Amino acid sequence: MQHDVFSLISEQVLRDCGGEPICAHVGDVQACAVKRHPTYHALQKKIHLGRSKTVASLRIWESVSTLAREGNRKDREKWLMVLLDLLTPYFYGWSKELATKWHYEVSDIRSAMMKGALETWFSMEGGTPSRKILDIMMRSAFTAARDLVTVGSSETCTEFFTTEITHEGDSGMRASSIINARTVRDPDADERIRGERAGALFKRMGIMDHVVVFHVKLRSGCRREEDSPAITPAQMGRSWVDGRNLYYRISDLLPQHIGFNEAAAIVDFSTSKASKMAKDGSLPFRVLWIGNSRVVSVKSLMHVLGIQDSIVHPDDVENGASHVGDN
């Protein structure tokens, strides 16, 4: 079997997804309201993104597009690969035809197509409607292939794959910090103050009992290591005693998603206005589809509202809560 960029992407997706059920709604089978999920292979067969696009297929495309824009770097890379793999069935025949007509290596043509699609993906603004992204990515892929064979420039799929896909830049999210870092010179003190202020706020809101339950689960090891925030060298001293990373983000205390109507109300939009904005790409947050229902990522909404998703330590949060007392 000839290995080109299409097969490399498919192999990567199969490694990431395997034969397990996959959730293309919210990205996590356990967090999804739908009880039954297909394997990736079965899901791929149901999606039609060519001329005969179905509403269900476009909704899945929109959700996958959102997942490829949000989350941590590993999740973004996974869903971007899925996004690209969903496009390749519509490029196979045309790339072979072009290679035969112009006596060109089909692997180079496919590399050019993926490069064109990816350049479009990274150049599009976050609020661009998902259907428009789909159309432009396909058009860019075809244009890049035609330009390759007519101009005569070539590149190998291996060169493209290693330079374009694996070096995605970090998210543009702002750094998490409750206080201005310039006011505290000691990073350790800054970290403690940040956690204590969060704990004091939780206590005043009356949700500290919920926070403590979460801390108990955290200390008992009920969290996957990949879900833990990365420890910086300055934070290593907080973990040397028991060898565990207990740091977490404020968003870990919140539900992963809320309903579309609730999200619209939070930003002071009516449901009809938010729906219209979603269609024309001007909605400030992204939408995930679960069947005929829409949900919004809480992290995405926090970003829109300017709420910092701070990283805190349980000890600091509990200390901050204790300072408030029972008043």
Which of these three, 141, 165, 189, is where a domain ends?
165
Residue 22 pLDDT greater than 90, yes or no: yes
Instruction: Judge if 28 and 144 occupy the same domain.
Output: yes
Instruction: Judge if 237 and 210 occupy the same domain.
Output: yes
Residue 149 in 3-state DSSP?
Answer: helix
Residue 152 in 3-state DSSP?
Answer: coil
Rounded mean pLDDT of 145-169?
54
Domain span at 61: 5-165
C-alpha distance from residue 76 to each of 43, 145, 286, 289 (Å): 19, 26, 14, 17
Tokens standing for 312? 């805190």
Instruction: Judge if 133 and 230 occupy the same domain.
Output: no
The whole-angstrom separation of Cα 74 and Cα 174 is 18
Of the given ranges (22-36, 45-59, 91-105, 149-163), which has the lowest mean pLDDT? Answer: 149-163
Instruction: Judge if 78 and 20 occupy the same domain.
Output: yes
pLDDT the model gives residue 193: 87
Of the given ranges (25-29, 171-175, 241-245, 254-258), which has the lowest mean pLDDT? Answer: 171-175
3-state secondary structure labels for all residues of 210-275:
HHHHHHHHHHCCCCCHHHCCCCCHHHHHHCCCCCCCCCEEHHHHCCCEEEHHHHHHHCCCCHHHHH
pLDDT band at 85 (very low <50, low <70, confident <90, very high): very high
Tokens standing for 132? 């428009």
Which of these three, 119, 147, 165, is where a domain ends?
165
- Among 119, 168, 107, 123, which residue's Cα sits nearest to residue 144? 119
The pLDDT > 70 percentage for the chain reads: 83
pLDDT band at 154 (very low <50, low <70, confident <90, very high): very low
pLDDT the model gives residue 33: 86
More confident residue, 315 or 73: 315
Instruction: Judge if 67 and 189 occupy the same domain.
Output: no
Residue 6 pLDDT greater than 90, yes or no: yes
Q: How many structural domains are present in the chain?
A: 2
Instruction: Judge if 104 and 199 occupy the same domain.
Output: no
Rounded mean pLDDT of 292-316?
88
The whole-angstrom separation of Cα 140 and Cα 115 is 9
Residue 287 pLDDT greater than 80, yes or no: yes
Alpha helix (H) residue ranges in the chain: 5-17, 40-46, 55-69, 73-87, 92-102, 106-123, 130-151, 157-160, 187-205, 208-219, 260-266, 271-280, 298-305, 314-324
Of the given ranges (22-31, 124-133, 307-316), which has the lowest mean pLDDT? Answer: 124-133
pLDDT the model gives residue 307: 85
**Contact call for residues 149 and 155 (beta carbons, < 8 A):** no
C-alpha Rg value of the chain to the nearest Å = 23
Q: What is the mean pLDDT of the chain?
A: 82
Q: Beginning with the edge strand found earlier in the chain, give each strand of the sheet holding 293-297 in spatial order.
A: 257-259, 293-297, 288-290
Instruction: Judge if 222 and 290 occupy the same domain.
Output: yes
Rounded mean pLDDT of 66-84?
90
Contacts of 302 (CB under 8 A, 6+ apart): 251, 308, 309
pLDDT tens per residue, range 182-196: 444 455 677 888 889
C-alpha distance from residue 165 to each of 51, 80, 111, 138, 321 (Å): 27, 9, 12, 17, 44
Which of these three, 165, 193, 222, is where a domain ends?
165
Tokens standing for 102? 């112009």
Of the given ranges (29-33, 150-154, 278-282), which has the lowest mean pLDDT? Answer: 150-154
More confident residue, 309 or 168: 309
Instruction: Judge if 43 and 11 occupy the same domain.
Output: yes
Instruction: Judge if 93 and 206 occupy the same domain.
Output: no
Residue 166 pLDDT greater than 90, yes or no: no
Instruction: Judge if 37 and 121 occupy the same domain.
Output: yes
Instruction: Judge if 46 and 191 occupy the same domain.
Output: no
Of the given ranges (151-165, 294-308, 312-326), which has the lowest mean pLDDT? Answer: 151-165
**Contact call for residues 71 and 298 (beta carbons, < 8 A):** no
Rounded mean pLDDT of 239-253?
79
pLDDT tens per residue, range 30-55: 888 888 899 999 999 889 998 888 89
Rounded mean pLDDT of 90-112?
91
Residue 137 pLDDT greater than 90, yes or no: yes
pLDDT the model gives residue 325: 65
The whole-angstrom separation of Cα 148 and Cα 104 is 9
Rounded mean pLDDT of 76-84?
94
pLDDT the model gives residue 167: 39
Residue 21 pLDDT greater than 90, yes or no: yes
Instruction: Judge if 297 and 231 occupy the same domain.
Output: yes
